[in-house]
Structure 1
Amino acid sequence: MNYTLDFGPVVAGLPDLLRGCAGTLFLAVVGMAIALVIGVVGVVLRESPVRPLRWAVIAFVELIRNTPFLVQIYFVFFALPLIGIRLAPTPTAIIALGLNGGAYAIEIIRGGVQSIHKGQVEAGFALGLHKRDVFRFVVLRPALRAVYPSLTGQFVMLTLTTSIASAIAAYELTSVAKLIENESFRSFEVYGTITVLYFLMSWLMMRAFGLVSRRYFSYPVR
């Protein structure tokens, strides 16, 4: 069976696809910010002497890491309205992405915190630093430097995971592609194009993360 390529519908829909890319990046960036906050707060609570707090964090991490993201986003979108919490598709996607990324960020950052030698913490206290400053400068910053590659890799995966948000019609690249494909029936051309677009977004994000790493997390050359 012969198949003739026709990128006409893709070219005509390119402005919409680019806006879809912007929607994807918006979901990813806001979701990443929420995930990072959840990661840091989760690590603090995970190391808390209050046992119920530790258990709550452990339960959250295990629940998120052992259930599909599609189920999680469906739960937020379809189940929460039953208790009076109704959210539009885009806020739903952002919250689901933040919770999902946060669970993984907790474990990644916690691994970095545990890599900090206790002697460094004791030295910080010996210098008269407040407990908050010891955590910020002696523990958290070196820990983030140690786990930065893993953390940014997880965030790139979170960006690609935004495509699942099309299941609830959140505005992002895959949902736009579905609309174009439904109107044109040019599946190969449409999905081939967004494959390239997702690759470019991931590549650019890794480049941006690399610049941040060299600017803020590289060790000074002596």
Structure 2
Amino acid sequence: MSGRKLYRRLVSVDEVIPTIERYRPLEPLGEVEVGLAEAVGRVLSRNVYAPANYPPYTRALVDGYAVLSEDLAGVYEDRPRSLRLAGRVRTGETRLLQLSRGECVEVSTGAVVPYPADAVVPVEYTHREGGLVTFYRGVAKGENVDTAGADIAEGEVLAWRGDVVTPGLAAILAAVGVSRVHVFRPVRLGIVPTGNEIKEPGEPLEYGQVY
């Protein structure tokens, strides 16, 4: 037993790193650009900036009618007001409509809110007859509307150098149109097992030996 070395204390990673660096400095191995799916679990080597606003346009949060909130000031169930229907915008349509004072535009949830409308009245508080829509409640400016850039502004830092790309972060990056990012090259490790009991795979294994 005199020649046997006993390991009585485990050391932390912080203690081991200086020992390793005496033989080889620990430095980044360079970077590589990869797609988002491949980037999950890896470390960013550069900051990631938003290339566009999110949402990219002002959109309706409910099915209803886009209006100028001032047109419905003072409107209640017992004091309704009617506005002229100027058109309809469905979700996914890219055509642009404009409305004037005294008008409204029917919109679906997620549809573009036409300029200069600043609110959406839920369809449950309206009644449509012909080309007129009667409103039974007013709305505040910005109500039921998700303004362009409200969640993420163009140029905003979405992730910092050194951040790990998680599935959640990858989803956020994809939502603003980021498809590729720069990450550090992964460290490659090798394990060298030693011992008289070790045999190469494929060799005959005798009693007391392992592969």
Shared fold (TM-score greater than 0.5)? no
Higher strand share: 2
Q: TM-score range by the shorter chain?
A: under 0.3
Higher helix share: 1
TM-score normalised by L of structure 1: 0.24
TM-score normalised by L of structure 2: 0.25
